[in-house]
Structure formats: structure tokens, C-alpha cells
Amino acid sequence: MEPREQLVTRNTVIERARHGLIEFGILSVLFGLYYATRGLAAGKEIDAFQNAREVMHLERRLGLFREIGVQAWLLAQPWIVHFLNWVYTYTHMAGLVLFGIWLFWRHTDRYREYRNVFLGILAIGLLIYALYPLAPPRFFPYSGFVDTLALYGKVNYDQPSVAMLYNPFAAMPSLHVSFALFCGIGVIRVGRTLAHWVLGTFYPLLMITAVVGTGNHYILDAIAGSTLTVAAYILVPRITAGLARYRARLAGSVAP
């Protein structure tokens, strides 16, 4: 390789690394806001439990109230419950990070498009959390729900180191499902191979099973999370393109 080509390659790597650090910083702040939604739950316990009862009532009317049956089947297979606990706890953010790194380094030209879709999902999700607190199924053991993380993983949600990082009433929509579907659709659309189709299909379905099976979300939460992701994929690119055209017209109107 010629010295000039080596210099160009090195400068390109340095520029991408700098850009990557900026993106990492921005997304770290946003993830901090995501976890800081703990403060949104203060004083909303009554509303959260009332909303949960309404969700369960609606599910019964729609024929969707199947969570207890799903849990009963899973609890007969302890190894599956342990696996779903692990999926729920550890793959939520890991999947997002790995998908983002893959996009940034292997498909840089598509990264901004998908970053914007993710930001749309996150913004609307946090807004709904603020407006509609919802107690998850695991808060209703007397109705037959089981908190599998507490049962098998011995997770104490009231422990200060845990409680400060999670909003107990952030059930609707399920951002676990929303983010998993976001990654799945993105992997399929960008990768386009059979392996990408399998991974992009399997991961969201696995996450839906995990959030319901662990007692952390209702089926309607999963539906809402999926709907949010699909809506973001449809609307965010259109909004972004519209804003770009508006800025272009504005720049043209003020040009000398």
C-alpha cells in the first residue's frame, strides 16, 4: 500500500473512531435518562395498580389474558425459566449495543437512519411511561402471577443499588420487546441473508416469551412495544426526510 493510501486509511479509521466516541457519549446520556425514569414512578403507585387492573380486564375481554397459563407451563420446566431470566436480564441492552456496533462499523451509511428510529422509540416510550404508569404482572401474586427473577434469581427490586436504576411501573409499552424487534427488523433489512432472517425473527420472539414468562409484562405490553417499533420504522424516516427538505428550503431562502 502506498504511503498516501496508508495515510488516508489511518485518517478514516481515526475519524470513524472519533465519530464513534461522540455517538457513544450521546447514547450513554440517553440510556442514563432511560434508567432515570425511576423518578417518574414517585407517587404514582395507586394509578399504576389501577391501570394494571384495567389492562388485565381488557385482556380478558379480548381473550389475551394468557400470561398465567404461560407461566404455569414454563414453571414446570425450570431450566427454561432460568434461561428466560437470563434473556430478560442480560440481552436487553447487549442486543442493542451489538446491533449498534455492527451497524456503525460494517454499515456506516445506514447507521444514522437506524439511530434516528431508535431515538424515536426511546422518546415515545419514555413519554408513555411518564403519562401511563403500569404495575407489571409480578406485582399481583394473589392473582396467580409469579416473579421468576425473585424466585430463581433472588432479585431484590427494593435493594438501593437496583431500585435506583429501574422504574417499577414502566410496563407499557415493553421496551424490552420494542428494542428487540427494532434490532430484529434492522438485522433483516441490512443483512438480508438467511442467517440474518433467522436471527432477526428469533430474537424478538424469544424476548416476548421472556417478558411474559418472567412476569414482567402483559401480552398487551408486548403488542404495544411491537406497534411502537413498527410505527417508528414507518414514521421516523418520513419525518427526518421532511425536516431535511425544510432545512434545505430554509437555507435556499436565506442564501445571498
pLDDT digits (tens, 9 = 90+) for 46-77: 999 999 999 999 999 999 999 999 999 999 99
* Terminal C-alpha separation, the chain: 45
CA separation, residue 43 to residues 131, 169, 174, 209 (Å): 13, 11, 21, 31
Give start and end residues of each alpha helix (H) in the chain.
Answer: 3-35, 45-62, 67-75, 78-106, 108-131, 148-152, 160-163, 175-191, 194-213, 219-254
Instruction: Report the alpha-carbon distance of residue 96 to residue 161 in Å, rounded.
Output: 23
Are 206 and 166 in contact, with CB atoms under 8 Å apart? no
Q: Is 9 exposed, middle or buried (0-12, 13-18, 19+ CB in 10 A)?
A: exposed
Give the confidence band of 6 by pLDDT, cuts at 50, 70, 90: very low
* 180 Cβ contact partners less than 8 Å away, ≥ 6 residues apart: 91, 92, 95, 203, 204, 206, 207, 208
Total number of domains constituting the chain: 1
Are 92 and 176 in contact, with CB atoms under 8 Å apart? yes
Give the confidence band of 7 by pLDDT, cuts at 50, 70, 90: very low
For the ranges 16-25, 122-131, 221-230, the maximum mean pLDDT occurs at 221-230
| Single-letter amino acid code for the residue at 2 | E
pLDDT value of position 104: 87
pLDDT value of position 20: 58
- Average the pLDDT over 31-41 and give the result: 60
Write out pLDDT tens, residues 160-194. 555 555 678 888 999 999 999 999 999 999 998 99
Residue 130 vs residue 202, higher pLDDT: 202
Query: At residue 23, does pLDDT exceed 50?
Result: yes
Are 71 and 215 in contact, with CB atoms under 8 Å apart? yes
Instruction: Report the alpha-carbon distance of residue 136 to residue 124 in Å, rounded.
Output: 19
Q: What angle do CA 160, 162, 168 make, to 5 degrees?
A: 105
Write out pLDDT tens, residues 205-224. 999 999 999 999 999 999 99
Structural domain range at position 86: 3-254
DSSP code at position 144: T
- Average the pLDDT over 239-246 and give the result: 84
Write out pLDDT tens, residues 130-148. 899 999 999 999 999 999 9
Residue 244 vs residue 256, higher pLDDT: 244
